[in-house]
Structure 1
Amino acid sequence: MNILSLNCRGGGRPETVREISDLVRLQRPSLVFLSETKMSDKKAQDLRWKFGFSNAFGVKSVGLSGGLCLYWNNDSRVSLKSFSNSHIDVLIQNDELGDVEWRFTGFYGNPVRSRRKLSWDLLKFLRKEYNNPWICAGDFNEVLYGTEQIGGNERQEWKMEGFRDAIEECKLEDLGFYGVPYTWDNKQQGNKNVKVRLDRALGDDKFQECFDNTIVNHLQCCESDHCALLISVRQSDWIDVALTEKPFRFENAWTRHERYNQTVEEVWRDDGNNLQEVYDALGCVRQRLKRWSVSEFGSVKKQLKTLRGRLEVEIKAVTAVKIPQLHPNSWAIDIIDSSKVDPRDAAVILCGGWAVWSERNARKHGESSRTISESVKWTADIASDLAISGCVVTRPAKVKSKWQLPAPGTLKVNVDAGFSSDWQVILDCRGLK
């Protein structure tokens, strides 16, 4: 099933209608979400016939800005749940994707930066509404990282952090993309050109488990200054989407637990005579390990998040360094870019990475390890030592003194390293012996 999402920047123009019609004909989406239609809801809905759809729901624009519309065919059963000037939220069932009912939210972030927080509050509110597998796509009018923009004024970190925090709280993840890296272009030349990735698709854990073969493509458009998102929703090859149970994943950390062998031996049956009995025995082990993992380890993700928070607090308390939010694909380059990270902070962070690697090896080989506080202090000390060793210390040049005659009224005695009085020479101010 394909979904097409586009900020069309005015859907009533004949050129735009033709371009969208061509996209629909070539990509054959079952669902189309348009933002910034800049028209009434009725007029936007009437365009369904030109686009080749049977159903539509529109949200009227406010004056000459905004406006949303969702189009779909009868091969998808779509149930409208909520809408506003910034979103359309629906539940979907599609025969191509089985019986699972999942959720699509077409989203449009507030274009006014001072009101962007309202968009993130809306996103958090929508998270609490339903528990279905969820995909949220559209023009968010914000980036996650500074590297998602080229040209123009530098993005303010606190505004990007607001977007990141909202996504984290909603338990959404960027689904990635294929194609050009930026989805909006101001189409100006030279130094005035600005490109930004404003459009994206986000999915939660359940959506990615059910549809982990989903692909997002950026399609360049002529009439809009935005790229269209073509989201190809595809079932997972290894999980029945009708099941709500999370897939089983074996964790290597289990094998290091003192009770791992005992747990497996208690449930494993080695009297299997055929593959079916072996398969059943493995199923019993899988279920037992899942229950055992919850009781012994709890939520690993929550523990990691808690430990990460403690580590950042310790680092900031000891070193006054705040760990920057860097893009996962370019952090190794960004960390040594002095325009993004202070060199002294970068030294502490890199030494911290070295400390983590050392701790990992120490734990793996059963050696004594440090506490979080000790590790942070050790990291800070190493970074400080490296900073000092990297400084160029300048010392005043030595001035060689030349031999001179004694001042008037005085005598100078030269012994010339002699060891007896016979080698002494006495001179006056005229140089006479």
Structure 2
Amino acid sequence: MNIVVWNCRGALKPNFQSHVRELVRCHNPDVLVVMETRIGGDRAKDISDRLPFDSVIHTETMGFVGGIWLMWNADRVEVVQLAKTEQEIHVEVKVLLFNLSWIFTTVYASPRYDERQVLWENLSKVADLHNKPWIIAEDFNEPLAEEDKFGGRPVSINRSLLFKECLDKCNMVDMGFNGPKYTWTNRREIHSLIQERIDRFFMNPSWCLLYPDAKVSHLTRCHSDHYPVLMETNPRRPMQLNRLFKFQSFWLSDPSFPSVVKQAWGQQRDLREAIDLFSNQANLWNKNHFGNIFHKKKRIMAQLDGVQRAMALQPFSSLVTLENHLLKELDVVLEQEKDLWALKSRINWMILGDRNTSFFHVSTLARRKMNLITAIKNEVGDWLTKEREVASHIREGFMKLYTTS
């Protein structure tokens, strides 16, 4: 499923309708949100009826600013309006193809500070009303940190903290992005140029677990001072490359691991040969000894279920023994799973408390998104975006580094 959100800065512009059609042609969104349309009532309905969507929700403008249109096609998604104000629309989205439902909130935060305060309060109240998967998107009119702004006055720490406090109450995580760093520009000369990242997608942990590969992209800006933003719940998967060897710290807790080290380093070999031998043997040992922890847990749970069903029909001492054995195996696997998630998330679990929580799952997924390379600039300044081009360029760089070292 694709969602495109765009602050169009006026739906009466001559090129507004043609640009919307171009966005639909290129990115095939199931839901399109345009904001700061600056018109409402019958005029808003008249223009939205000409666009390639059969359903729409409008909000009223705030004087001569604002106005949000949430549009969709009913044969692909079912959208139920929950609530709306001039600054927000809350809907429940049901993806018909997969029968999945979640909450979607689209926001146009007022440029006026007092009205933004009302929006933060409203979002915090919505968070208390449900525990469903939830995403919030679009123009928040407030940078979160100094790195989200170039030029102009420094970011207001007090206003950013109020924004962040609202996000924390809503249990929201920034989905990250691909593409240009900023989403708004004043389009001035360099000495007075201001750029900000104020158009965003946020998700709560349960939505992240529903769509772990979701991807946000800042599209090419034209016809507005805001970039359109595309969110894909199931983007085209990147090409699978051979993974580099990674040492896992939880190997050290296993008594059989020292023999793997001794076998690789116990005989006289050159450094390169010893490293290659250890990497291969450690990977093989890890696969055979630990296997897939999640599959192993699932298998043990299935065996426990079978044993407990049998005991309910006719208990035997052998079944009691087998259940105790499986419970011990499960404890070991659960501990390994906790260590694995804590290691992957690179978070100090002793500070944060319980390790096996959705926080670690989400932080791992978020880190994986940030580490994913989708584009790279070559020596002459050209951007390479095709997967094979990126992989080939990285491989050539490693080869040059290896041969010159």
Shorter-normalised TM-score: what interval?
0.5 to 0.7
Q: Equivalent residue for 1:280?
A: 299
CA distance in 1, matches of 2:192, 2:7: 22
Q: Equivalent residue for 2:204?
A: 204
Q: Equivalent residue for 1:304?
A: 351
Q: Using structure 1 for the length normalisation, give the TM-score.
A: 0.56
CA distance in 2, matches of 1:278, 1:188: 58
Deviation at 1:117, TM superposition (A): 2.4
CA distance in 1, matches of 2:296, 2:8: 58
Say which structure is richer in helix: 2
Amino acid paired to 1:81: L
Deviation at 1:280, TM superposition (A): 2.9
Cα deviations by residue, 1:221-266 (Å, 9 ceiling, x for unpaired): 22110001111112999xxxxxxxxxxxxx988997xxxxxxxxxx
When residues 156 and 254 of structure 1 are mapped into structure 2, their CA distance, relative to the original with a 3 A threshold, is farther
Deviation at 1:281, TM superposition (A): 2.3
Q: Equivalent residue for 1:268?
A: none
Identity score, percent = 25
Deviation at 1:14, TM superposition (A): 2.0
Cα deviations by residue, 1:54-110 (Å, 9 ceiling, x for unpaired): 1011011122111111100011011110100111111111134x1221111111122
5+ long unaligned stretches in structure 2: 238-247, 254-294, 305-325, 340-346, 355-369, 371-405
Whether contact under 8 Å (1:143, 1:197) holds in the other structure is yes
Where do 1:221-370 residues align within 5 Å? 221-234=221-234, 280-281=299-300, 283=302, 284=304, 289=331, 304-305=351-352
Q: Equivalent residue for 2:164?
A: 164
CA distance in 1, matches of 2:206, 2:236: 11
CA distance in 2, matches of 1:52, 1:278: 48
Q: Equivalent residue for 2:342?
A: none
Whether contact under 8 Å (1:42, 1:58) holds in the other structure is no
State the secondary structure of the residue aligned to 2:105: strand
Whether contact under 8 Å (1:4, 1:33) holds in the other structure is yes
When residues 130 and 41 of structure 1 are mapped into structure 2, their CA distance, relative to the original with a 3 A threshold, is farther
Whether contact under 8 Å (1:212, 1:235) holds in the other structure is no
Where do 1:34-113 residues align within 5 Å? 34-74=34-74, 75-96=76-97, 98-113=98-113
Whether contact under 8 Å (2:296, 2:333) holds in the other structure is no
When residues 39 and 204 of structure 1 are mapped into structure 2, their CA distance, relative to the original with a 3 A threshold, is same
Amino acid paired to 2:88: H
When residues 229 and 279 of structure 1 are mapped into structure 2, their CA distance, relative to the original with a 3 A threshold, is closer
When residues 80 and 236 of structure 1 are mapped into structure 2, their CA distance, relative to the original with a 3 A threshold, is farther
State the secondary structure of the residue aligned to 2:225: coil
When residues 22 and 119 of structure 1 are mapped into structure 2, their CA distance, relative to the original with a 3 A threshold, is same
State the secondary structure of the residue aligned to 2:84: strand
CA distance in 2, matches of 1:235, 1:203: 17
Q: Equivalent residue for 1:22?
A: 22
Whether contact under 8 Å (1:41, 1:61) holds in the other structure is no
State the secondary structure of the residue aligned to 1:9: coil
Q: Equivalent residue for 2:178?
A: 178
Q: Equivalent residue for 1:416?
A: none
State the secondary structure of the residue aligned to 1:51: coil
Cα deviations by residue, 1:178-220 (Å, 9 ceiling, x for unpaired): 1100000000012111000010000010111010111111112
Structure ranking higher on relative contact order (CA contacts 8 Å, 6+ apart): 2
Whether contact under 8 Å (1:212, 1:236) holds in the other structure is no
CA distance in 1, matches of 2:351, 2:88: 33
When residues 140 and 289 of structure 1 are mapped into structure 2, their CA distance, relative to the original with a 3 A threshold, is farther
CA distance in 2, matches of 1:201, 1:26: 20
Cα deviations by residue, 1:5-43 (Å, 9 ceiling, x for unpaired): 011111122222221221112211110111111111433
| 2:135 is the counterpart of 1:135 | yes
Whether contact under 8 Å (2:297, 2:333) holds in the other structure is no
Whether contact under 8 Å (1:89, 1:104) holds in the other structure is yes
Cα deviations by residue, 1:144-172 (Å, 9 ceiling, x for unpaired): 11011000011111211111221122111
Q: Equivalent residue for 1:259?
A: none
Q: Equivalent residue for 1:218?
A: 218
Bigger Rg, which one = 1
Cα deviations by residue, 1:363-401 (Å, 9 ceiling, x for unpaired): xxxxxxxxxxxxxxxxxxxxxxxxxxxxxxxxxxxxxxx
CA distance in 1, matches of 2:167, 2:297: 42
Whether contact under 8 Å (1:211, 1:235) holds in the other structure is no
Deviation at 1:48, TM superposition (A): 3.3
Deviation at 1:277, TM superposition (A): 10
CA distance in 2, matches of 1:100, 1:289: 33
CA distance in 2, matches of 1:278, 1:128: 34
Whether contact under 8 Å (1:41, 1:69) holds in the other structure is no
Deviation at 1:115, TM superposition (A): 3.9
